[in-house]
C-alpha cells in the first residue's frame, strides 16, 4: 500500500496546481472585465491575428481603450480601400504600403498628425502625412550553418547568389504568396522589367524548390535541408532566437522589404483617441512588446536600434516606393510564370 502514496501525492499536487491556476485566471478575467472602458476604436487590419491580439490586450490594459480589430486578407483590404466614402466605416487601417497608397488614391484617408510620425524617415511615410510606416520586414538569406561554414560567408549578395557554385536555394513561389511576390516587384522597380526578370532566370539553376508558404525556405535552411532559403527577417530571427543552426545574412547589395503602416480613415469617430493610438504604435514600448512575444520586425522609429546580421552588418534597403497596380502585378507575375518558373531550357 505504501508504494501508492507517492503517486497519490503527485496526483493531489497536480490537481492543486491546476485548481490554483484556474482560480488565478478567473481573477485575472474579472479584473480585465472590471476595467472601465472609456473609448473604443475600430481598426481594419491584415496583420496576423496573434499580433493584433497582443496589441489590443496591452492597449486596453494601459489606456482603457478597446481596440476592435476587424481581420481582413490583404486582397480584401485592397478592395476595402476603394469603397465610396458613404460606405466607409471604422477609425484606422493597419496594412501594407500598397494598400495604404490605394486608400490615398481613393481619398479614404486623412492626415495623421502625431508626435513620432515627424521623426520617421520620408521613405517610410506618405509625403502628405496620410499614412505612416510602423515597421518593416526585410528579405534575407537564411543559411544553414554547414553551408555558412563551407562557403556561405562569401555568398552574401544577390549578385553573388547567381554565380556558378555548388549551393541549393529554396524560395517561395511568387504566385503562392503576395508577400513573396513583393520581391519580384521590387527587383523590377530597381532594375527595370527586363533586367529584373532576367535576374530570376539566372538564379533558377540554383533553385531546388519553389515553396508554397513564405516561411518554408527559412525553415528548411534552419533544419539543414537546404543551403540557403530566401525569406523574411521575422521568420529567420525566430529560428535564430530559438538556437537553430542558421545564419541570417542581409544582402550586401540591398534588399526588398515589406512595409506595414497605419492610416486614419475619414470616417474616424474619435480622432483624439485614434491619434493617441498611432503615437503608441510608433513607440519603443510597442517594439519591445512585440519582441517579447517573439514577433521580430525592424521599426521605423529612428530611436530603436537597427538589427545586424550574422556578419555584424546593418541592413541595406532597396529604394522602393511601391505603388504597383493590380493590373501591373498580374502582368509581371504572368511573365515570371512563363519566362522563369516554367521556362524550358
pLDDT at 165: 94
Three-state DSSP at 37 gives coil
Q: Which three cell numbers stand for residue 30?
A: 474579472
User: CB-based burial of residue 36 (10 Å sphere; 0-12 exposed, 13-18 middle, 19+ buried)?
Assistant: exposed
- Find where cell 508504494 sits: 3
| pLDDT tens-digit readout, 180-190 | 999 999 999 99
Contact 43, 93 (CB under 8 A): yes
Rounded (10°) CA dihedral 158, 162, 167, 171: 60
CB under 8 Å to 174, separation ≥6 — which residues? 180, 181, 183, 184, 333, 336, 341
pLDDT confidence bin for 128, thresholds 50/70/90: very high
pLDDT at 235: 97
Cα gap 289→69, rounded to integer Å: 18
| pLDDT tens-digit readout, 60-70 | 999 999 999 99
Q: What is the length of the chain?
A: 345
User: What's the rounded mean pLDDT across residues 74-93?
Assistant: 90
Cα gap 121→94, rounded to integer Å: 18
Query: What does pLDDT average to over the chain?
Result: 90
Q: Please report which helix (H) or strand (E) contains residue 180, including its range.
A: helix 178-191
Cα gap 300→283, rounded to integer Å: 10
CB under 8 Å to 231, separation ≥6 — which residues? 139, 140, 142, 171, 172, 214, 215, 216, 217, 218
pLDDT at 25: 53
Q: Which three cell numbers stand for residue 216?
A: 518554408
Cα gap 63→247, rounded to integer Å: 40
Share of residues in the chain with pLDDT > 70 (%): 90
pLDDT at 86: 79
Burial 162-173 (b: 16+ CB within 10 A, else e): beeeebbbbbbb
Strands 228-232 and 169-172 come out as parallel
Contact 42, 90 (CB under 8 A): yes
Tell me, yes or no, if the pTM score tops 0.85.
yes
pLDDT at 36: 84
User: Furthest-apart CA pair in the chain: how many Å?
Assistant: 82
| Nearest partner of 43 among 68, 73, 78, 76, judged by Cα | 68
pLDDT confidence bin for 322, thresholds 50/70/90: confident
Contact 278, 59 (CB under 8 A): no
Amino acid at each position: 500500500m505504501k508504494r501508492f502514496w507517492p503517486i497519490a501525492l503527485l496526483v493531489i499536487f497536480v490537481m492543486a496546481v491546476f485548481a490554483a491556476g484556474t482560480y488565478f485566471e478567473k481573477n485575472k478575467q474579472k479584473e480585465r472585465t472590471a476595467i472601465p472602458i472609456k473609448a473604443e476604436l475600430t481598426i481594419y487590419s491584415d496583420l496576423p491575428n496573434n499580433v493584433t491580439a497582443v496589441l489590443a490586450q496591452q492597449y486596453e490594459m494601459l489606456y482603457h481603450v478597446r481596440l476592435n480589430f476587424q481581420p481582413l486578407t490583404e486582397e480584401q483590404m485592397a478592395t476595402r480601400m476603394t469603397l465610396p466614402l458613404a460606405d466607409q466605416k471604422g477609425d484606422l487601417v493597419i496594412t501594407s504600403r500598397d494598400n495604404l497608397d490605394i486608400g490615398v488614391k481613393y481619398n479614404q484617408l486623412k492626415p495623421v498628425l502625431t508626435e513620432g510620425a515627424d521623426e520617421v524617415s520620408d521613405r517610410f511615410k506618405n509625403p502628405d502625412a496620410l499614412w505612416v510606416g510602423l515597421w518593416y520586414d526585410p528579405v534575407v538569406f537564411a543559411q544553414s550553418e554547414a553551408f555558412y561554414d563551407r562557403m556561405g560567408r562569401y555568398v552574401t549578395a544577390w549578385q553573388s547568389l547567381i554565380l556558378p557554385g555548388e549551393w541549393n536555394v529554396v524560395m517561395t513561389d511568387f504566385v503562392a504568396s503576395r508577400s513573396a511576390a513583393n520581391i519580384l516587384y521590387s527587383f523590377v522597380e530597381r532594375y527595370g522589367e527586363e533586367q529584373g526578370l532576367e535576374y530570376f532566370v539566372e538564379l533558377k539553376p540554383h533553385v531546388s524548390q519553389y515553396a508554397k508558404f513564405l516561411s518554408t525556405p527559412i525553415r528548411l535552411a534552419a533544419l539543414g535541408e537546404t543551403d540557403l532559403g530566401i525569406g523574411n527577417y521575422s521568420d529567420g530571427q525566430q529560428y535564430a532566437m530559438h538556437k537553430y543552426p542558421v545564419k541570417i545574412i542581409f544582402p550586401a547589395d540591398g534588399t526588398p522589404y515589406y512595409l506595414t503602416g497605419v492610416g486614419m480613415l475619414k470616417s474616424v469617430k474619435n480622432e483624439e483617441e485614434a491619434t493617441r493610438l498611432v503615437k503608441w504604435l510608433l513607440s519603443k514600448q510597442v517594439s519591445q512588446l512585440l519582441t517579447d512575444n517573439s514577433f521580430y520586425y525592424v521599426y521605423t522609429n529612428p530611436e530603436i536600434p537597427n538589427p545586424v546580421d550574422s556578419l555584424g552588418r546593418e541592413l541595406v534597403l532597396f529604394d522602393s516606393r511601391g505603388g504597383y497596380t493590380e493590373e501591373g502585378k498580374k502582368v509581371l507575375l504572368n511573365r515570371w510564370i512563363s519566362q522563369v518558373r516554367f521556362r524550358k531550357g
